[in-house]
Amino acid sequence: MQVEVLNISGKKTAKKVDLTDAIFGSEPSDHSIYLDVKHYLAAQRQGTHKAKERAEIARTTKKLKRQKGTGGARAGSMKSPVFVGGGRAFGPRPRNYDFKLNKKVKTLARISALSYKAKENAITVLEDFSFEAPKTKNYVDLMKNLNLADKKTLLVLGDQNKKVYL
């Protein structure tokens, strides 16, 4: 698959770039993309929720009233979840939501996402991409020239560039 190369002003140049069929031309796997997104979102969860249970409440364990003869239910402690201010029965506990995802499934998900983008012609290749000064205005102008101003974009550079990063 070939993609035309654009310059910074958004005009086509005479060059074309071949995209590797092993990555951009493979059959996409929706399930691997789903698993990768699910793995990412699970890893983002904090998991610090906690409620005090009856063993952690600071209340008396003295028997409130006698066992029989009051006409009410038996009551042994103010820590019971039945009473206001008592512990929570089966409350949330801190936990880690992260799960393992195999490396090959992750790789397949990345390849599938790139092949979807290639099929939609949503991949743009630029030549000589650099800025004279690290200004956001230059980047906004570049996105307007490429008709990508209101779209989500992912910028991939060949090597590290401090001005583009800033």
State pLDDT tens for residues 12-34: 888 888 888 888 888 999 999 99
Q: Cα(35)–Cα(56) distance, rounded to whole angstroms?
A: 38
Strand duo 2-6 + 12-18: pairing: antiparallel
Helix spans in 26-166 (H): 30-44, 103-119, 136-145, 162-165
State pLDDT tens for residues 74-116: 888 899 999 999 999 999 999 999 999 999 999 999 999 999 9
Q: Up-side HSE of residue 108: CA atoms within 13 Å toward CB? A: 14
Q: Cα(29)–Cα(115) distance, rounded to whole angstroms?
A: 10
The tokens for 38 are 């699910």
| Residue 44 pLDDT level (bands cut at 50, 70, 90) | very high
Integer-rounded Cα radius of gyration of the chain: 30
61, exposed or middle or buried, with CB in 10 Å at 0-12, 13-18, 19+? exposed
SS3 state at 13? strand
State pLDDT tens for residues 135-163: 999 889 888 988 888 889 888 888 888 88
SS3 state at 21? helix
Highest-confidence segment of 11-25, 34-48, 64-78: 34-48
Does the reported pTM lie above 0.85?
no
| Residue 57 pLDDT level (bands cut at 50, 70, 90) | very high
How many helices (H) does the chain have, and how many strands (E)? 5, 3
SS3 state at 70? coil
Strand boundaries in the chain, DSSP class E: 2-6, 12-18, 125-126
